[in-house]
Amino acid sequence: MGFLRFRRSFKVIPGIRINLSKTGVSTSVGRRGLWFTQGPRGTRTTVGVPGTGVSYAETGSSRRGVGLGAVVLLIVLLVIVMAVFAGS
Protein backbone atom coordinates (compact mmCIF):
# COMPACT_ATOMS: atom_id res chain seq x y z
CA MET A 1 0.00 0.00 0.00
CA GLY A 2 1.32 3.48 -0.84
CA PHE A 3 1.36 6.74 1.02
CA LEU A 4 -0.03 10.04 -0.14
CA ARG A 5 2.60 12.78 -0.11
CA PHE A 6 2.20 16.51 -0.57
CA ARG A 7 4.95 19.09 -0.99
CA ARG A 8 4.94 22.52 -2.58
CA SER A 9 7.78 25.05 -2.61
CA PHE A 10 7.60 28.79 -3.33
CA LYS A 11 10.60 31.00 -4.05
CA VAL A 12 10.30 34.22 -2.02
CA ILE A 13 13.53 35.80 -3.28
CA PRO A 14 16.60 34.08 -4.71
CA GLY A 15 17.98 31.84 -2.00
CA ILE A 16 14.87 31.78 0.22
CA ARG A 17 11.98 29.34 -0.13
CA ILE A 18 8.77 28.64 1.76
CA ASN A 19 7.86 24.94 1.72
CA LEU A 20 4.39 23.51 2.37
CA SER A 21 3.73 19.86 3.18
CA LYS A 22 1.30 17.65 5.11
CA THR A 23 3.44 18.08 8.25
CA GLY A 24 3.54 21.88 8.13
CA VAL A 25 5.39 24.93 6.83
CA SER A 26 9.17 25.25 6.67
CA THR A 27 11.65 27.85 5.46
CA SER A 28 14.76 27.02 3.42
CA VAL A 29 17.74 29.31 2.88
CA GLY A 30 20.69 28.58 0.63
CA ARG A 31 21.93 27.95 -2.85
CA ARG A 32 22.40 25.01 -5.13
CA GLY A 33 24.47 22.50 -3.20
CA LEU A 34 23.90 23.94 0.30
CA TRP A 35 20.52 24.39 2.03
CA PHE A 36 19.46 25.10 5.60
CA THR A 37 15.84 24.33 6.48
CA GLN A 38 13.91 25.20 9.64
CA GLY A 39 10.50 23.58 10.09
CA PRO A 40 8.20 21.60 12.38
CA ARG A 41 10.59 18.63 12.46
CA GLY A 42 13.57 20.76 13.48
CA THR A 43 16.59 22.02 11.58
CA ARG A 44 17.99 20.24 8.52
CA THR A 45 21.27 20.98 6.76
CA THR A 46 21.76 19.53 3.28
CA VAL A 47 25.06 19.61 1.40
CA GLY A 48 25.33 18.18 -2.09
CA VAL A 49 27.45 18.04 -5.21
CA PRO A 50 25.34 19.80 -7.88
CA GLY A 51 24.46 17.70 -10.90
CA THR A 52 25.50 14.36 -9.36
CA GLY A 53 22.58 13.45 -7.11
CA VAL A 54 25.04 12.93 -4.23
CA SER A 55 24.13 14.72 -1.02
CA TYR A 56 24.40 14.53 2.76
CA ALA A 57 21.68 15.70 5.12
CA GLU A 58 21.87 16.18 8.87
CA THR A 59 18.78 16.76 10.99
CA GLY A 60 18.78 18.46 14.36
CA SER A 61 15.95 18.57 16.87
CA SER A 62 13.90 21.71 17.50
CA ARG A 63 13.46 20.56 21.12
CA ARG A 64 17.05 21.50 22.01
CA GLY A 65 16.34 25.17 21.52
CA VAL A 66 18.40 27.20 19.11
CA GLY A 67 21.05 24.87 17.75
CA LEU A 68 24.00 25.35 15.46
CA GLY A 69 21.86 24.79 12.36
CA ALA A 70 19.50 27.60 13.34
CA VAL A 71 22.40 29.96 13.97
CA VAL A 72 23.95 29.12 10.59
CA LEU A 73 20.52 29.53 8.98
CA LEU A 74 20.22 33.04 10.40
CA ILE A 75 23.75 33.99 9.33
CA VAL A 76 23.15 32.76 5.77
CA LEU A 77 19.83 34.62 5.68
CA LEU A 78 21.52 37.84 6.75
CA VAL A 79 24.27 37.43 4.13
CA ILE A 80 21.72 36.83 1.38
CA VAL A 81 19.59 39.81 2.39
CA MET A 82 22.69 42.05 2.57
CA ALA A 83 23.79 40.84 -0.89
CA VAL A 84 20.36 41.56 -2.36
CA PHE A 85 20.28 45.10 -0.97
CA ALA A 86 23.92 45.76 -1.93
CA GLY A 87 23.19 44.71 -5.52
CA SER A 88 20.21 47.05 -5.91
**pLDDT averaged over the chain?**
79
Residue 39 dihedral angles phi and psi, to the nearest 5°? -155, -165
User: What's CA 1's distance to the chain center, in Å?
Assistant: 30
Q: Is the pLDDT of residue 63 over 60?
A: no
- Among the residue ranges 16-20, 30-34, 81-85, the one predicted with the least confidence is 81-85
Query: 68: pLDDT confidence band, cut at 50, 70 and 90?
Result: low
Q: Does an H or E element contain 4, and which?
A: none
